[in-house]
Structure 1
Amino acid sequence: MGLREENAARTRRAITEAALDLFVGRGYDATTMEEVATAAGVGTSTLYRYFPSKDLLLLGPLKVAGHLADALRSRPADEPHDVALGEALLDVLAAPREHAQVTRVHQVLAATPGVRAAALEVLLEERRDLESALLERMGREPGDLHGLMSARVAVLVLEWYQDLAERLDAEGTWSAETAVNREDVEAHLRETLAALAAEPPLLPRLR
């Protein structure tokens, strides 16, 4: 990661932390984007460049499917589709994750029923973006069942891994502040994917 990317990631993290402090402390509905910008020490235009809406600001830590779509699009064009998807998964899972932020996002969502529908729509849009990225790469038509199922399985692996990390963090056996070791993540992902290949998910069958 270059200096520019590091600075952008640092700014994004500072904005997210400031926003979650306000959302948890004052309430999501009572907090304005201008107040978030002030708390984060950035201009309002900078805030909107990183997060075009308050919903997207809140949901940033949950956006794993969107990161996977971006990672998949960045893979070499001549790479086999399954390898490209696997390597994209590894890139996303091995990136530093702010699991404490994820916990606070869920806390805000639980306390703010009015934002849950918007949250669901944002997450669904991310999944549709991943499905589109995979279908384009595979040369399949929109709505192709095989491509859609492949994308959903990748999302399930991401969500399962995220749930595991959050549970270990809550138990104190894994630290959200500890840098992720890519080699450990790769070994764990290989084991997970091998288990899925050895015993594929049960599919409905008619007699």
Structure 2
Amino acid sequence: MAHESGTTTVHLAVYDTLADWETGHATAWLARAGHTIRTVGPVAGEPVTTIAGIRIVPDLALDDLRPEDSALLILPGAEKYDEGDELAPFAAKARAFLDAGVPVAAICGATAGLAREGLLDDRRHTSAAPFYLAATGYEGAERYVDADAVRDGDLITAGPTEPVAFAREVFARLGAYEGKRDAWFRLFHDSDPAAFAELNG
């Protein structure tokens, strides 16, 4: 299911110290479901370097990203979320997306970015741990949920150890893998061999 604009383009934020393992399930399987994945960085064409040392050249600059051109914005965690305000513009863009009714999925450190932006004050959410978000000074502590991943309307959040649960919630919001999401989750989260046949049946 694409956003009402009809686009199936999913935008993946990329920045220095991006945590490589957190969004791979979501992006790879969305691409297999027919979505186009485009990377969005601080500056178009200027490489960023992940925690693993992998260089990524963004397709698009953050300033040029418009919610109406996107089905979803994915914000991976990064060490830079805990080092200052350099990535604050990505959280501000998330606000623009949510205001426009376009979903946002944030994992690990990106949830702290959203907390600082005030986007978790009124939405159910999760993260690495309650104290991690509490350190941001945000006002949404009573809405913290101790779960692998949480979807509240257009916002999806997860902690750093739950890339599979994170992807499942992303698929659910976009209507991907209808009827097969449970099998997909059991295969990749639980290593259930029976789920392989269900997923590929």
Give the TM-score normalised by the residue count of structure 1: 0.24
The structure whose Rg is larger is 1
TM-score (norm 2): 0.24
> Relative to total residues, which structure has the larger strand share, 1 or 2?
2
Larger helix share, 1 or 2: 1
